[in-house]
Amino acid sequence: MCSRWSWVACAFYLVLNICSPDASSGLVQSCGHIIPESPVLALGSNFTALCILNESCLDFGNIYASQIIWKIKNKLVPKEQYREINRTVSSVTFNDTSSLATPLTCNILADGQIEQNIYGITVTVGLAPEKPKNLSCIVHQMSRLTYVMTCTWNPGRHTFLDTQFRLRYSWPEEIFPDCIPRDVNNSCTVTDIQFFVNTEIWVEATNALGKAESDPLVVDPIDIVKPLSPQNVSVSSGILPTVLQLSWENWISDAVMTLKFNIRYRIVGDTNWMEVPSEDTASPRTSFSVQGLRPYTEYVFSIRCMKEDGVGYWSDWSEEKTGITTEDQPSKGPPIWRIIDATHSPTSWTVHLIWKALKPFEANGVILQYEVTVRDKLSPSSPVRKYNVTGTNHTLQLPEGTYEVTLIARNSVGASPPSVLLIPASNSKAPVKNLRTLPKHDKLWVGWTAPNSYVLKYVIEWCLVSSSSDCIIEWQIALGDVQGVDLKGIKPFKCYLITVYPLYADGQGSGQSVKAYLKQDRPSKGPTVQTKKVGKAEAVLTWNHLTVEEQNGFIRNYTILYKTIDGNETVVTVDPSKTEYTLSSLTSDTLYTVRMMASTDNGSRTGPDFTFTTQKFGKGEIEAIVVPVCLAFLLIVLLGVLFCFNKRDLIKKHIWPIVPDPSKSNIAQWSPQVPAKHNFNSKDQMYPEGSFTDVSVVEIEADDKKSFSEQDLKPFDLLKKEKSTSEGHSSGIGGSSCMSSPRQSVSDSDEGETTQNTSSTVQYSTVVLNGYRDQTPLQVFSRSESTQPLLDSEERSEDHSGGADSTTQRQQYFRQNGGQDETNTDRPCFERTKQITHDNEGDLVGFVQLQISGQSSQPLGLGMEKNIQEAALSSVIQTCTEGQTERPETVEENPLSVDEMPKSYLPQTVRQGGYMPQ
Amino acid sequence: MAAADSPSAALRRDLCSRGIRLAGKMRADVVDLLDAYVEQQGLDASASVAAVEGVPLAAVERWDEQTGTQRLLENLAAYRAFRALLAQMLEEQREQLGEAEAGLGRALAALLLQVSAFAYHLEELLRLENRGIPGEEEEEEDGPPPPPRLSLFEQKLRGLGVLRELAQWAVRSVRDLRQLAKPSPATAAAPGLAESP
């Protein structure tokens, strides 16, 4: 308990000690302190610090040195580095100061728990300055009388400390103020410089850890002067066109130093400087004449100076000044060449004389004009032609011949030496040999082997080959002793056509040409391939050559690459001269993809893909199949035709059943023989006018059925048979007879009736004669829709005749051949019919009458069953030239007559042209 | 010839050469300074100034008969005197014009340095001549007492006289050093001539 209170008292005391004001030691009185106080330590050295506790703290706080702990920036220092010197002093030792950091604190650990800071120091670690090295000085002339000296040195390693450098200089008997650098540590500028006295210069570096001095530099400042460059440089033309006079001012007096100079100059636009020999300008001067210049050339000059003995520094180059030399006469004649156009007439030339403007160093001035002289070599007596030209070409019309052209360039000073060009009548001399090219950087070298004869000079023509424009010729002349020239201005990836002509003293050799590229590239596009012809196992590919602009080089070969969809690619190399290639051994009916690649020396480019499908059959295969098939078919057809021809009767019988000619029938033959018996009126009697000349009328008395002999009934059997065979062709028969189709007949006759299918309907034109004996028989034309074979009906009627014999009816058969018009002509027909009826009252003449009871749609058998009156077969064959038209008036005129015919089939209308039973 | 190539001979030649050029520059600077001084002090450039007390005259009779050492000693004495006078002028200048005429002051200071440097050259040459260098203090003790306090105008005139005499001495020093820089026969003959009188 006591101990506890003592610790409380201790802590309270510490707080009081730390916080209570003290008049002597400031605001805070510490319980101890560290020595050394804020030391500056050399990096890498060892260091020992002592923490000394105040005695007063020992008394009140029970604090001892054994309780001291050391910390570096809140990091505990290992206790192995501590040493308790006595009860109030503890030391800590660091073998290497590089492990130190700020702050280093001394702390007390009261009762092993409460840590209290006693004191702390700032530790500065650094290096002593190194000896400055490489001290050098230069004196800059700032103005005519002002010089400053700037010295630089290597300050050495970084010291991590505040290090002061100062430049010191002195005379043996004079020490000058130090030069202290500002913001830098490696240079300083001295403004107070005196020449002609050796001055000792050195650098001092000082920091908390030491001082170092550089090796002294002993120098007379006059020997390290960099003077100002000459001022006010001017250039003036001299008397000669190759001389320019330079003058300038020096900014340094001879009393200080004498100077030597450098003069450099260059042509305006050129980058290379030339220098006047230094020995020519090694003495003090303020002017100089530069000689050996080109006439009429603008030069740029610049001058610099330094101490005459060469000790010191060159000044900067002066500002550049330009001057131009005066003109001189042209030094050489212009190179001349010609282009001869003889396309209009071989005997008359259009000669384009072309020449190159002289280069500035050749023209030596402004060329005012060119003088062209043309002399006919073959006829010296002919007059010399002279032309003054301001341009660089001239066109002449000359007859074919040999000419000598002389060209002179003239400027304000004089004329150039003449250039002579011989234009021979023909280029019959030997050409150059082995013409070749070789790219050399941005130039294209053209070389050749000289002919055996002496060549004056060579003309090298070249032009850019283009597919879209003409070849614009450029040319140059080479001397006769060279065998190669460099062509400039050649563009890469472009094709050039180069031609070399040798010029002899007495003529000209023919030109030799070669194509060349300065640099090749791969083609800019690939060939577009397509098929010209595709077969079963082969395909003919075709393509166009790439244009010269697209080639970018010499096409060395074409490569065809083709493959099926899932097959391997096949590669074929093709000669570049070809534009067609046949792929063989292809698979039939297969899709192929083909593309084409053009290759130069520098790469390849592939064109677009093209697909094609090989054919399924080869050439001739289809023909081999089709032709035999066709032949076989033709043979079969022929055989069929022959067969049909042979069996034509049989076929005819089936297709065109024999329509019995009533006039030739047995009945017809027979009927005139019984006119009296059957009260039959001959047609001649009825129609004396001959309208119904072919109508046969048979009047049959039902009662007299038996009176007919078997022979007489045969024609009915025949008709029956024919009816059965021609049932499906009834319309044709009707149409052929009366130009009326069955359908038309039906539609015209079905007023108020059910439309019947007439294709299978045997239409009967019926003249119903029914009435009482004492009444006027009503004549009605009726068409039956019945399909019942007539002869069957007849047979039926015959069968039932026994039951219906109470009514005796006369049945009349007739054939009508008269043509009747639909509107007009039927009337006569009808009227004639009526007339017939009226004329033969009670008898029907000219109509085959069939009386059928019941509905026409019903089976004829049923109808026949109901037919209690009589059944008669009427055959009416009408021949109308303009068609047939039913006459409904007939019904309307005699409605009662119809109604008065019970149990009898009575169509409302009977049309002419209806199917006529046979 | 061997002596001419010895280090001392080379050093002597170098000192002579450098001294000649320093004297030449000093002469040029003094001429420039004279114009500035006359203008700044409001003096007449053509004003006649009596000989400055304490400054040996540059003009001397039988100059070509002097020995090298004699030339050096006379030069050294003169330039030491100039150094003291120029220092006094610089002090007076600062008192009179303050910092306003810093240019003139800098020129005077530069001239003073050149005079000092030239005196150093002379001392070095005398050392090479194996002659004792007269001490300044001794000279001052033996020399005339300091000049009495002068009026401002008198100070200006004296300054003008000092500069003019310094210009004269610069010319003479160039000639003296050229004479000294000549090959040994001349130097050898000089003592003979000096001794002959």
- For chain B, the structural domain boundaries read 9-46+75-131+151-181
Contact list in B for residue A196 (CB cut-off 8 A) is 18-19, 21-22, 25, 114, 117, 121
**Span B22-40, pLDDT tens digits:** 898 889 889 988 888 888 8
Mean pLDDT, range B76-102, rounded to an integer: 82
Q: In the beta sheet, which residues pair with residue A265?
A: A274, A301
Strand segments, DSSP code E, in A95-186 are: 104-110, 114-121, 124-126, 133-141, 147-154, 164-171, 174-175
Q: How confident is the model at residue A680 (pLDDT cuts 50, 70, 90)?
A: very low
Do A195 and B32 make contact, defined as CB atoms within 8 angstroms? Answer: no
Q: Is the pLDDT of residue A42 over 60?
A: yes
- Please state the domain count of chain A: 5
Question: Tokens at residue A535, please?
Answer: 């077969």
Q: List for chain A the helix, strand, coil content (%; round to 5).
A: 20, 35, 45
Contact list in B for residue A220 (CB cut-off 8 A) is 18
Predicted local confidence at residue A310, as pLDDT? 92
From A460, A495, A517, give the residue that closes a domain: A517
Strand segments, DSSP code E, in A416-556 are: 419-423, 433-440, 443-449, 457-464, 473-479, 484-487, 495-504, 507-508, 512-517, 529-534, 539-543
DSSP one-letter string for A345-398: ETTEEEEEEEEPPPPHHHH-S---EEEEEEEESS-TTSPPEEEEESSSEEEEEE
For residue A144, what is the domain's CATH number?
2.60.40.10
Question: Tokens at residue B190, please?
Answer: 């000089």
**Residues A567, A463 within the same domain:** no
**Residues A491, A370 within the same domain:** yes
Least confident of A77-86, A324-333, A412-421, A458-467: A77-86
**Span A742-778, pLDDT tens digits:** 344 333 434 434 444 444 444 444 444 444 444 444 4
Contact list in A for residue B108 (CB cut-off 8 A) is none
- Domain range for A197 is 133-219
Q: Residue A89: inside a domain, yes or no?
A: yes
Q: Give the burial string for A135-166 (b: 16+ CB within 10 Å, else e).
A: bebebbbeeebebebbbbbbbbeebebebebe
Q: What percent of chain A has pLDDT over 90?
A: 32
Predicted local confidence at residue A753, as pLDDT? 41
**Residues A365, A456 within the same domain:** yes
Backbone angles phi, psi at A301, to 5 degrees: -120, 150
Tell me the C-alpha distance between A462 and A448, whole Å: 15
Counting DSSP H helices and E strands in chain A, the numbers are 16, 53
Q: Is any Cβ of chain B less than 8 angstroms from the Cβ of A143?
A: no
Q: In the beta sheet, which residues pair with residue A68?
A: A108
Site from B21, B126, B127 to mutate, A interface, most A CB atoms within 10 angstroms: B21
Residue of B nearest to A194 (CA): B114
**Residues A152, A235 within the same domain:** no
Strand segments, DSSP code E, in A826-906 are: none
Least confident of A419-433, B79-93, B139-153: B139-153
Q: Residue A23: inside a domain, yes or no?
A: no
Least confident of A216-225, A457-466, A500-509, A776-785: A776-785
Do A195 and B28 make contact, defined as CB atoms within 8 angstroms? Answer: no
Q: Is the pLDDT of residue A171 over 80?
A: yes
**Span A825-852, pLDDT tens digits:** 344 334 343 444 344 433 433 343 434 3
Is ipTM beyond 0.85?
no
Do B21 and A196 make contact, defined as CB atoms within 8 angstroms? Answer: yes
Q: How many residues does chain A have?
A: 918
Q: Which residue has the higher pLDDT, B36 or A307?
A: A307
Q: Domain B9-46+75-131+151-181 class?
A: mainly alpha
Question: Tokens at residue A478, please?
Answer: 């080479």
Contact list in B for residue A197 (CB cut-off 8 A) is 18, 22, 117, 120-121
Q: Which residue has the higher pLDDT, A273 or A682?
A: A273
Q: Which residue has the higher pLDDT, B85 or A804?
A: B85
Q: Residue A13: inside a domain, yes or no?
A: no
* Residue among A772, A752, A765 nearest A901 (CA): A772
Q: Give the burial string for A256-288 (b: 16+ CB within 10 Å, else e).
A: bbbbbbbbbbbbeeeeeeeebeeeebeeebeeb
**Residues A586, A438 within the same domain:** no
From A592, A621, A650, give the residue that closes a domain: A621
From A621, A649, A671, give the residue that closes a domain: A621
Alpha helix segments (H runs only) across A566-708: 621-646, 648-655, 666-670, 683-686
**Residues A193, A261 within the same domain:** no
Q: Residue A584: inside a domain, yes or no?
A: yes
Tell me the C-alpha distance between A761 and A755, whole Å: 11
B20/chain A closest Cα distance in angstroms: 9
- Burial of A885: CB neighbours in 10 Å, binned 0-12, 13-18, 19+: buried
Tell me the C-alpha distance between B100 and A256, whole Å: 28
Contact list in A for residue B113 (CB cut-off 8 A) is 174, 192, 194
- Whether the CB-CB separation of A463 and A514 falls below 8 Å is answered with no
Q: Is the pLDDT of residue A712 over 90?
A: no
Q: Residue A712: inside a domain, yes or no?
A: no
Tell me the C-alpha distance between A569 and A561, whole Å: 6
**Residues A147, A118 within the same domain:** no
Chain B residues at the A interface, defined by Cβ less than 8 Å, are 18-19, 21-22, 24-25, 27-28, 32, 109-110, 113-114, 116-117, 120-121
The angle that helices A742-749 and A730-738 make with each other, rounded to 10 degrees, is 80
The strand pair at A40-42 and A124-126 is best described as parallel
Tell me the C-alpha distance between A429 and A422, whole Å: 13
Q: How confident is the model at residue A45 (pLDDT cuts 50, 70, 90)?
A: confident
Question: What 8-state DSSP symbol labels residue A852?
Answer: B
Q: Residue A683: inside a domain, yes or no?
A: no
Compute the radius of gyration of chain B from its Cα atoms.
Answer: 18
Q: Is the pLDDT of residue A81 over 90?
A: no
Q: Which residue has the higher pLDDT, B12 or A822?
A: B12
Tell me the C-alpha distance between B115 and B55, whole Å: 13
- Whether the CB-CB separation of A372 and A337 falls below 8 Å is answered with no
Contact list in B for residue A256 (CB cut-off 8 A) is 21, 25, 28
Do A255 and B18 make contact, defined as CB atoms within 8 angstroms? Answer: no
Q: Residue A469: inside a domain, yes or no?
A: yes
B21/chain A closest Cα distance in angstroms: 7
**Residues A372, A346 within the same domain:** yes
Tell me the C-alpha distance between A351 and A541, whole Å: 47
Residue of A nearest to B111 (CA): A194
Question: What 8-state DSSP symbol labels residue A703?
Answer: G
**Residues A400, A417 within the same domain:** yes
Q: Residue A828: inside a domain, yes or no?
A: no
Question: What 8-state DSSP symbol labels residue B148?
Answer: P
Predicted local confidence at residue B59, as pLDDT? 79
Tell me the C-alpha distance between A219 and A766, whole Å: 164
- Whether the CB-CB separation of A32 and A199 falls below 8 Å is answered with no
Cα separation values, A451 from A505, A513, A626, Å: 13, 15, 71
A176/chain B closest Cα distance in angstroms: 10
**Residues A84, A194 within the same domain:** no
**Residues A347, A427 within the same domain:** yes
**Residues A594, A445 within the same domain:** no
Site from A196, A198, A219, A308 to mutate, B interface, most B CB atoms within 10 angstroms: A196
* Residue among A47, A37, A43, A202 nearest A128 (CA): A43
DSSP one-letter string for A291-333: -SPPTT-EEEEEEEEEETTS-S-PPPPPPPEEEEPPP---SSP
Average pLDDT of chain A is 75
Question: If you count residue pairs, one on A and one on B, with CB atoms under 8 Å apart, how many are there?
Answer: 48
HSE-CB of A440 using CA atoms within 13 angstroms: 12
